[in-house]
Amino acid sequence: MGCGGAIALLRQLNLPVAVAVVSDGTKSHPNSVAYPPPKLKKLREQESLAALAILGVAPEAVTFLDLPDGEVDISSKSQPAIALSINTFLN
């Protein structure tokens, strides 16, 4: 979701922000020799952390759920990981 503006505003107001990156981003370059899934996963994590740092979010406030890209379904096996992440943020 495009929530960078909201994150920037919250940080400008000095409010805490926690971010959950739900999927691992590994299916954006299928069959790529240059970007196989493990390399792409690491790159996506680095890109996310860099962008969030610009917005004022510390790395320790970011959780990577590492759910399979393109397979996140709230009614399936993804639900416990998502619920746990949300519960952690709320407590």
Q: Is residue 55 part of a domain?
A: yes
Q: Is residue 34 part of a domain?
A: yes
Count of Cβ atoms closer than 10 Å to residue 52 Cβ:
20
pLDDT at 60 (0 to 100) = 95
Q: Is residue 3 part of a domain?
A: no
Q: Is residue 58 part of a domain?
A: yes
Q: Is residue 84 part of a domain?
A: yes
Number of domains in the chain: 1
Query: Is pTM beyond 0.75 here?
Result: yes
Q: Is residue 13 part of a domain?
A: no
On average, the pLDDT of the chain sits at 88
pLDDT at 8 (0 to 100) = 94
Q: Is residue 62 part of a domain?
A: yes
Q: Which domain holds residue 85?
A: 19-90
Query: What's the mean pLDDT in 45-62?
Result: 96
